[in-house]
C-alpha cells in the first residue's frame, strides 16, 4: 500500500501537482514510517511550494533514517538557505558533498553562496561614506635672518570619497534567473526596481541618503517582465526574472543586437519597443522542425521511447512503471501492473554487474 501511494505521489509531483503529492506521501508514511525516500520526496514538494520549514523537517527525518541520502542533505541545505540560516545550510551542503563525489547536485555552488551570505553578515556597511578633511600643517616661525625665505604653506588636501558600491551575484534554474543585490535592511521606499525584456535596473537610496544605480543591460537573453518579481529581504534584494526561453544562460549580460535599417512590420517580432528585433515565431518553428528531424540514438532514443510509453499509457501502466523503477533502484521498468502490483520489485542489475548501495 505504501509503495502504491508513493508511486502516485511521484506521479503527481511529475505533473507539478505538489499539494496532491504531499497528501499522497503523507498517506504512504501512515502505512510505512521508516522510508527515508518518502520523507525526502515530500521535502522536495514542500520546497516547490516554498514551505521551507516543513521541507527542512522532512529532510532531517530522512537523514535520521539514512545518513547516506544525498538528496535529503541537499534539500535540508536548500530549505535552511531560504530560511536565512546560512551556517547550518553550509554544513548540510558540506555533508552532501562528501557523499556526492561528482557534485552532481552543485553542492560546491551552494556552499559558495552560503559563504557569501555569511561574509555579508560579518561586514560592516559604511553606506559609502567618505571623509572630507584638511591635512594638518605646522606653521614654522620665520627666522629673523632676512636671507631665509618664509615657509610655504601647502594647499589643503581634499580627500575625495570613493563611489559607493553594492555587491551582487546571480544564479539560474530551468525557468528563472535569480539576481541578489546585497543591500542590508533596505527600506521599501528606497528601492525602485525596473524590469524590461532585456534590462534590469535598480535605483537605490543608501542609508546616508546617497543615490546609487545598478544596471544590467542588455541581459544575455529576453525575460518576461510581467511574470518577473522582486522581494526586499533583511540581507538583500532578491530579483526573480522569468526566462522567455528555456535556455541555459552563460552570463548575466550579453551584447546589444542592432535593428535592421528598415524594421519589418511582422507583428511576431518581439519586442516592438526595442532597438533590436527577433522573429520569435520563426525561430520557434525552426527549433521544432529541427527537433522532429533529429534522429536520436542510444540512451536518448531509449529515453524518448519510455516517455512516449508513459505518456500514452493507462493509469495501470503508469503505476507499474513508477513502482518498478523506484523499488528496483532503476534496474527494472515494467508496464505490467498485474505482475508488478502484486509484490515488491526485485533489483535486477545488468549481466556482469553487481548492485550495491552507496556507502560513505
Question: Which own/partner pairs from 161-167 qualify as long-range (CB within 8 Å, at least 24 positions apart)?
Answer: 161/128, 161/129, 161/130, 161/131, 161/132, 162/128, 162/130, 163/128, 164/127, 164/128, 164/206, 164/210, 164/212, 165/128, 166/204, 166/212, 166/214, 167/120
CATH topology of domain 163-255: Immunoglobulin-like (2.60.40)
Residue 206: per-residue pLDDT = 85
Domain ranges of the chain: 1-123, 163-255, 258-286, 301-360
pLDDT in tens, 229-285: 999 998 899 999 999 988 889 899 987 654 444 444 444 444 444 444 455 556 656
Q: Are 72 and 66 in contact (CB under 8 A)?
A: yes
The listed range with the strongest mean pLDDT (54-68, 99-113, 120-134, 241-255) is: 54-68
- What grid cell was written down for 315? 493509469
Question: With bands split at pLDDT 50, 70 and 90, how would you rate the model's confidence at 330?
Answer: confident
| Residue of higher predicted confidence among 45 and 329 | 45
Residue 88: per-residue pLDDT = 95
Does the fold of domain 163-255 match that of domain 1-123? Answer: no
Question: With bands split at pLDDT 50, 70 and 90, how would you rate the model's confidence at 339?
Answer: confident
DSSP 8-state secondary structure symbol assigned to residue 142: P
The answer to whether the pTM exceeds 0.75 is no
| Mean pLDDT of the 109-120 span | 89
Residue 216 has pLDDT above 70, yes or no: yes
Residue 310: per-residue pLDDT = 74
Q: Are 324 and 341 in contact (CB under 8 A)?
A: no
- Asked: is 1-123 a CATH 3.50.50.60 domain? The reply is no
Secondary structure element (H or E) that encloses residue 111, with its range: helix 107-122
The Cα 299–Cα 120 span in angstroms is 45
Three-state DSSP at 227 gives: strand
Q: Are 212 and 206 in contact (CB under 8 A)?
A: yes
Q: Which residues contact 188 (CB under 8 A, 6 or more apart)?
A: 232
Residue 99: per-residue pLDDT = 93
| Mean pLDDT of the 137-157 span | 52
Helices and strands, counts by H and E, the chain: 11, 9
Amino acid at each position: 500500500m505504501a509503495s502504491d501511494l508513493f508511486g502516485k505521489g511521484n506521479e503527481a509531483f511529475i505533473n507539478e501537482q505538489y499539494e496532491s503529492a504531499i497528501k499522497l506521501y503523507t498517506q504512504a508514511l501512515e502505512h510505512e514510517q521508516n522510508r527515508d525516500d518518502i520523507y525526502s520526496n515530500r521535502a522536495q514538494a514542500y520546497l516547490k511550494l516554498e514551505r521551507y520549514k516543513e521541507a527542512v523537517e522532512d529532510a532531517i527525518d530522512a537523514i535520521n533514517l539514512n545518513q547516506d541520502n544525498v538528496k535529503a542533505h541537499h534539500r535540508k541545505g536548500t530549505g535552511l538557505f531560504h530560511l536565512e540560516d546560512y551556517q547550518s545550510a553550509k554544513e548540510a551542503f558540506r555533508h552532501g558533498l562528501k557523499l556526492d563525489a561528482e557534485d552532481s547536485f552543485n553542492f560546491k555552488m551552494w556552499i559558495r553562496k552560503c559563504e557569501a551570505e555569511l561574509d555579508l553578515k560579518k561586514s560592516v556597511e559604511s553606506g559609502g561614506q567618505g571623509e572630507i578633511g584638511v591635512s594638518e600643517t605646522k606653521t614654522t616661525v620665520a627666522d629673523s635672518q632676512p636671507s631665509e625665505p618664509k615657509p610655504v604653506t601647502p594647499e589643503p588636501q581634499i580627500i575625495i570619497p570613493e563611489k559607493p558600491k553594492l555587491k551582487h551575484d546571480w544564479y539560474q534554474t530551468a525557468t528563472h534567473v535569480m539576481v541578489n543585490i546585497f543591500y542590508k535592511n533596505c527600506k521599501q521606499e528606497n528601492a525602485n526596481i525596473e524590469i524590461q525584456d532585456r534590462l534590469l535596473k535598480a535605483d537605490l537610496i543608501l542609508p546616508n541618503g546617497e543615490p546609487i544605480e545598478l544596471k544590467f543591460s542588455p541581459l544575455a537573453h529576453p525575460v518576461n517582465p510581467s511574470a518577473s518579481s522582486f522581494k526586499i529581504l533583511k540581507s538583500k534584494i532578491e530579483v526573480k526574472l522569468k526566462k522567455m526561453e528555456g535556455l541555459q544562460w552563460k552570463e548575466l549580460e550579453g551584447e546589444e543586437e542592432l535593428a535592421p535599417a528598415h524594421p519589418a512590420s511582422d507583428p511576431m517580432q518581439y519586442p516592438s519597443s526595442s532597438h533590436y528585433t527577433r522573429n520569435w515565431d520563426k525561430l520557434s518553428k525552426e527549433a521544432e522542425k529541427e527537433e522532429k528531424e533529429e534522429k536520436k540514438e542510444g540512451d536518448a532514443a531509449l529515453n524518448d521511447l519510455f516517455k512516449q510509453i508513459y505518456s500514452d499509457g493507462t493509469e495501470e501502466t503508469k503505476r507499474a512503471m513508477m513502482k518498478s523503477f523506484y523499488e528496483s533502484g532503476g534496474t527494472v521498468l515494467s508496464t505490467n501492473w498485474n505482475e508488478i502490483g502484486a509484490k515488491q520489485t526485485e533489483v535486477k542489475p545488468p549481466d556482469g554487474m553487481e548492485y550495491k548501495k552507496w556507502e560513505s
